[in-house]
Amino acid sequence: MMRFLLLFSRQGRLRLQKWFTPMMDREKKKIIRDMTTMVLSRQPRTCNFMQWKDLKIIYKRYASLYFCLAIESQENELLALEVIHRYVELLDKYFGNVCELDIIFNFEKAYFILDEFLMGGEIQETSKQIVNRSIDASDMLQETLEEYMSKPAF
Amino acid sequence: MSMSPSVPLQEMIRAIRSARTQCEERGVIQRECAAIRAQFRQADNGGRSHNLAKLLYVHMLGYPAHFGQMECVRMIASSRYSEKRVGYLGAMMLLDEKQDASLLITNSIKNDLSHSNQYVQSLALCTLACMGSAEMCRDLAPEIDRLLRASNSYIKKKAALCAVHIVRKVHELGELFAPAARSLLSEKNHGVLHGAVVLITELCERSSESLERFRKTVPDLVQIMKGLVISGYSPEHDVAGISDPFLQVRLLRLLRILGRNNETASDAMNDLLAQVATNTDSTKTVGNAVLYETVLTVLDIKSESGLRVLAVNILGRFLLNNDRNIRYIAMTSLQKIVGTDHNAVQRHRGTIVDCLKDQDASVKRRALDLSLALVSASNIRSMMKELLLFLSSCPPELRSQAANGIFTAAERYAPSKRWHIDTILHVLITAGGDVRDETVPNLIQLITNTSELHCYTVHKLYRALLSDISQQSLVQVACWCIGEYGDLLLRGDCQEVEPMQVCEDDVLDALETVLQSHMSSTATRGFALTATMKLSTRITDNVDRIRSIVSIYGSCIDLELQQRAVEYNALFKKYDHMRYAKKDSTHFCCCGVILFCSVNSFAFNVILGFMLLLTITFVSAPTAPTVTVYEKDGVTLTIVCEKQSDSAMTVTLTGFNSSDCDVSSFTLQAAVPKSVQLHMKAPSGDSLPAGGAAKVTQVVLLNNPNKVRLQNRQMLFIYLVCRGSTVQETVQVDSFPGL
């Protein structure tokens, strides 16, 4: 399974953090520090895989953002690169030529999209179109408020 | 109480980002958090989701946000979808299963799982799969099972992954989901299929009964996979010409688990694997991802040999790929099979060795691991050339591994002793600072045992010392060698090296340079001082110089060196008149016997080097009593001297260990001045187990043909080198009875 996904800028500012196993806040902060240090100090033209403790770290840079995905040792690294790429494509489709600012100002949307693509550390939906359609439908639902709600709160 | 109107999320983000300093940012955030807190306390004002979202943003910047936890609980229970959405997101970010607040949302999740709207159900499922505690999982498992069976594919695929999470948390619940998982394999929807395959994989990894049961699905899995591989273009799932690579990889992984250790299952998937391996387009990463998974599966199941060769060849092709990611994973895979499919991997040795020169540090590291694993008796010479070349230019973080790997390989496959010594010297010269501590005593042992090369070795080491005294291990060995075989060095002639006239002053210059250099560690200085001292028994013209060097160190700041120098000085003073007595006389002659033994203690992880400076006298005696010459921390060394003739004597050394810790690699060495011949017989062993379970004995034959009578007084010097620190002991034995 995947253990965590981090998005951060070239200055090391965190833009998104998704944790697929329960962890203390202190641990999360340490991991974020370790990952940003490790990834940002990588030379250009080196491979996108690193070993960190018992996990494999797959990272890729898209424009000004680094995508950093940690997977367990039995997972397929090349596929992990495809997972990152798929997420970028989904963001791109949603925001239209996505850039870091979109993710900063609409971070909750970035999470919603992620939550339609991955779940519990596994891939949830392999079709781009279905993910996009689900997000659009959810957004529509949000705008139409109570009409769809049949159950009272408590 | 009137509060300032809440600032929409994006305005707040803008405000935070425009702060010019950390301090300013903190100020903005404090104000915002105060406002958010106040808003939480207020009644519903339609802006609740904005407030929580703001808090989540602040949390992501690293600021505390725990006061938002209860708000998440409230929002999740709301009837508004927008609030539920942010509430669940907040729960996933701020709550974890360890907190009490997470229990409070169990009821909401339960309700939302059976909500009439699938997007609400989806929120609940997602949150459960993300942070469901074991109790929540137990509580909600039946509901998840129901959803696995009777819902639309949108919900089914999420329920499947929820089930995966539940099984991970509460293993026994796997039983519950097995039937549903089985029937999901007949679904057409890829999302559901993928979830089903992940769930079945999880079940099989956790229970052998499940594994047995699901093996029966192999034909179905093969069919599904075939459908993906040979199907036409499917726009919904196509990635660069591969139809749903994510599903293909998961299917291959499940097949791997089912085919492992099972001939029948492996047979059933053989053709499919061959087909995937041959037909998958390898021009893009995504195709290579599928090929990679295929190779891993082939190599892990009981596949037929033709298929295995095909798989290894794919890895070989990967090694030549321009994409360094592909080269990297090829090497990690080859590393895994280098033990089982050694010959197949050997065929690609050339390419692997070339990867030692790759720009990428990760690829280099893998190439090193693999190259070391591929060294054999038949390729040792050519491989060592490459490895030594690598060592001279490799990144610093790999030097230690490379040096130690080279030593191991050299030890195993050295075609000749001289090659072995040359190789070790080469490594010490190139990377002496990165080798393990045992290297020095091990090399000393090797040199000692290679008596035919003593002359060659001391000449080479002397020259190495002249050019560079910064590598401590090299300098230590060189000093030891010079002290031991200095006479061979001074003699000048040695066939295998260029002739070089070395005079006593040159040698002492070299040792003094080491002593005085700021680069030399304490241990190294110890070696140099000892070597200088040893030379006093081998040279004739410069004893005064040696005395002055030694006496200088008598006032050295370093305690160990000072102590050693003082003892050596004393030796000089006591036996000065004997030192110069070369011709037979009725007076005394000092026979300096220097014993060097190394002790390796398991429990303390300590390497002790003893240096005993024994002076033994030849005096006839009727009986030969045992004398304890060293006793510390439970380890004892005793000697028994027996005169064999008026010029020959045997000394039996016995080591004994009564401490609680085992002592291993206990070895003794000796050196004597020119006039006395010494022959050390093989020791009985090299380990001293704790509690005195066994002893080590070694016999030393001394022959004094010049028949000079020796004095009846002796001194004992013990030199201990502990790993990381030098310990020196001096024991004075006033009499040596029996002699």
Residue B670 CA, chain-centre distance (Å), reads 36
Determine contact: A152 vs chain B, CB below 8 A.
yes
| CB nearest to B10's CB, from A20, A50, A105 | A105
Q: According to the model, what pLDDT value does residue B699 have? A: 81
> What mean pLDDT is reported for chain A?
91
User: A36 with A52: CB under 8 angstroms?
Assistant: no
Q: Which residues of chain A make contact with B61, given a CB cutoff of 8 A? A: 14
Q: Answer with the residue of higher pLDDT: B51 or B538.
A: B51
Residues in chain A: 154
Give the whole-angstrom CA distance, residue B49 versus residue B43. Answer: 13
Amino acid making up residue B520: S
Token code pair at residue B372? 């070391």
Sign of CA dihedral B358, B363, B369, B373: negative
Determine contact: B397 vs chain A, CB below 8 A.
no
Query: What SS3 state is found at B727?
Result: strand
Mean pLDDT, residues A125-129: 96
Query: What SS3 state is found at B663?
Result: strand
Chains A and B form CB pairs within 8 A to the count of 165
Q: Answer with the residue of higher pLDDT: B668 or A132.
A: A132
Query: What SS3 state is found at B655?
Result: strand
- Specify the range with the lowest mean pLDDT, choosing from B53-67, B219-233, B572-586, B637-651: B572-586
Give the whole-angstrom CA distance, residue B537 versus residue B504. Answer: 12
For B448-491, give the secondary structure using H, E and C: HHCHHHHHHHHHHHHHHHHHCCCCHHHHHHHHHHHHHHHHHHHH
- Specify the range with the lowest mean pLDDT, choosing from A143-152, B30-39, B129-138, B272-281: A143-152
Is there a contact between A122 and B198 if contact means CB atoms under 8 Å apart? yes
Spell out the residues 6+ positions from residue B548 whose beta carbon is closer than 8 angstroms to its own: none
Token code pair at residue B2? 């009137």
Spell out the residues 6+ positions from residue B306 whose beta carbon is closer than 8 angstroms to its own: none
Query: What SS3 state is found at B586?
Result: coil
Half-sphere exposure of B144 (CA within 13 A, CB side): 33
Q: Answer with the residue of higher pLDDT: B56 or B672.
A: B56
Residue A98 has pLDDT above 90, yes or no: yes
Determine contact: A26 vs chain B, CB below 8 A.
no
Q: Return the biggest CA–CA distance within chain B.
A: 116
User: B663 with B657: CB under 8 angstroms?
Assistant: yes
**Buried b or exposed e, range B459-484, using 16+ CB within 10 angstroms:** bbbbebbeeebebbbbbbbbbbbbbb
Q: Which residues of chain B make contact with A22, given a CB cutoff of 8 A? A: 96-98, 131
Give the whole-angstrom CA distance, residue B573 versus residue B237. Answer: 92
User: B107 with B140: CB under 8 angstroms?
Assistant: no
Determine contact: B57 vs chain A, CB below 8 A.
yes
Which has the closest alpha carbon to B593: B714, B486, B504, B488? B714
Give the whole-angstrom CA distance, residue B649 versus residue B704. Answer: 8
Residue B615 has pLDDT above 80, yes or no: no
Residue B247 has pLDDT above 50, yes or no: yes
User: B582 with B547: CB under 8 angstroms?
Assistant: no
Percentage of chain B with pLDDT > 90? Answer: 43
Residue ranges in B536-601 assigned as alpha helix (H): 543-552, 559-580
Shortest CA gap A128–chain B (Å): 7
Sign of CA dihedral B545, B549, B550, B552: positive
Amino acid making up residue B242: I
Optimal mutation site among B55, B113, B166, B198, interface A, most CBs of chain A within 10 A? B198
Which has the closest alpha carbon to A22: B62, B106, B73, B131? B131
Q: How does DSSP classify residue B501?
A: -
Give the whole-angstrom CA distance, residue B4 versus residue B31. Answer: 11
Q: How far apart are the first and last CA of chain A?
A: 36
Is there a contact between B247 and A129 if contact means CB atoms under 8 Å apart? no
Query: Residue B11: closest CA among chain A residues belongs to which residue?
Result: A105
Q: According to the model, what pLDDT value does residue A49 have? A: 93
Q: According to the model, what pLDDT value does residue A151 have? A: 38
Residue B80 has pLDDT above 80, yes or no: yes
User: B64 with B72: CB under 8 angstroms?
Assistant: no
DSSP string for B102-127: HHHTHHHHHHHHT-SSHHHHHHHHHH
Query: What SS3 state is found at A58?
Result: strand
Is there a contact between A46 and B362 if contact means CB atoms under 8 Å apart? yes
Residues 131-160 of B with CB under 8 A from A: 131, 154, 157-158
Residues 504-543 of B with CB under 8 A from A: none
User: B324 with B360: CB under 8 angstroms?
Assistant: yes
Token code pair at residue B617? 């006298």
Q: Answer with the residue of higher pLDDT: B365 or B623.
A: B365
| CB nearest to B328's CB, from A47, A149, A154 | A47
CB atoms within 10 A of CB B322: 6
Is there a contact between A79 and B289 if contact means CB atoms under 8 Å apart? yes
Residues 93-112 of A with CB under 8 A from B: 104-105, 107-108, 111-112
CB atoms within 10 A of CB B357: 14
CB atoms within 10 A of CB B708: 22
Residue B608: which pLDDT band, with cuts at 50, 70 and 90? very low
Is there a contact between B96 and A23 if contact means CB atoms under 8 Å apart? yes
User: B579 with B675: CB under 8 angstroms?
Assistant: no
Is there a contact between A138 and B119 if contact means CB atoms under 8 Å apart? yes
Is there a contact between A151 and B289 if contact means CB atoms under 8 Å apart? no
Give the whole-angstrom CA distance, residue B156 versus residue B158. Answer: 5
Percentage of chain A with pLDDT > 70? Answer: 94
| CB nearest to B130's CB, from A108, A120, A138 | A120
Residue B127 has pLDDT above 50, yes or no: yes
Query: What SS3 state is found at B376?
Result: coil
Name the strand (E) or helix (H) holding B188: none
Query: Residue B119: closest CA among chain A residues belongs to which residue?
Result: A138
Mean pLDDT, residues B126-147: 94
Determine contact: A43 vs chain B, CB below 8 A.
yes
Q: According to the model, what pLDDT value does residue B665 have? A: 59
Residue B633 has pLDDT above 80, yes or no: no
Shortest CA gap B305–chain A (Å): 24
Amino acid making up residue B629: V
Is there a contact between A127 and B236 if contact means CB atoms under 8 Å apart? yes
Q: According to the model, what pLDDT value does residue B646 have? A: 64
Residue B34 CA, chain-centre distance (Å), reads 50
Which has the closest alpha carbon to A120: B298, B199, B146, B292? B199
| CB nearest to B57's CB, from A24, A43, A107 | A107
Mean pLDDT, residues B639-649: 74
User: B52 with B90: CB under 8 angstroms?
Assistant: yes
Is there a contact between A47 and B157 if contact means CB atoms under 8 Å apart? no
Phi, psi of B106, deg, nearest 5: -55, -45
CB atoms within 10 A of CB A93: 16
Token code pair at residue B330? 């090829």
> What mean pLDDT is reported for chain B?
81
Residue B225 has pLDDT above 90, yes or no: yes
Which has the closest alpha carbon to B693: B639, B653, B657, B663? B657
Q: Which residues of chain A make contact with B124, given a CB cutoff of 8 A? A: none
Determine contact: A134 vs chain B, CB below 8 A.
yes
Query: What SS3 state is found at B733?
Result: coil
Q: According to the model, what pLDDT value does residue B6 have? A: 40
Mean pLDDT, residues B311-318: 94
The strand pairing partners of B614, in sequence order, are: B593
Residues 588-617 of B with CB under 8 A from A: none
Optimal mutation site among B79, B131, B401, interface A, most CBs of chain A within 10 A? B79
Is there a contact between B56 and A108 if contact means CB atoms under 8 Å apart? yes
Q: According to the model, what pLDDT value does residue B526 have? A: 87
Query: Residue B190: closest CA among chain A residues belongs to which residue?
Result: A126
| CB nearest to B325's CB, from A48, A104, A128 | A48
Determine contact: B53 vs chain A, CB below 8 A.
yes
Q: State the ipTM, two decimals.
A: 0.94
| CB nearest to A82's CB, from B131, B245, B327 | B245
Give the whole-angstrom CA distance, residue B661 versus residue B659. Answer: 6
Determine contact: B314 vs chain A, CB below 8 A.
no
Q: According to the model, what pLDDT value does residue B707 have? A: 56
Residue B138 has pLDDT above 60, yes or no: yes
Q: According to the model, what pLDDT value does residue B439 have? A: 82
Determine contact: B13 vs chain A, CB below 8 A.
yes
Which has the closest alpha carbon to B635: B603, B657, B667? B657
Query: What SS3 state is found at B649?
Result: strand
Residue B233: which pLDDT band, with cuts at 50, 70 and 90? confident
- Specify the range with the lowest mean pLDDT, choosing from A94-98, B491-495, B703-707: B703-707
Give the whole-angstrom CA distance, residue B318 versus residue B324. Answer: 9
Q: According to the model, what pLDDT value does residue B613 have? A: 34
Q: Which residues of chain A make contact with B122, given a CB cutoff of 8 A? A: 134, 138
| CB nearest to B78's CB, from A14, A123, A153 | A153
Burial class (CB in 10 A: 0-12, 13-18, 19+), B540: exposed
Phi, psi of B428, deg, nearest 5: -65, -35
Which has the closest alpha carbon to A2: A62, A60, A75, A64? A75
Residue B26 has pLDDT above 50, yes or no: yes
Percentage of chain B with pLDDT > 70? Answer: 84
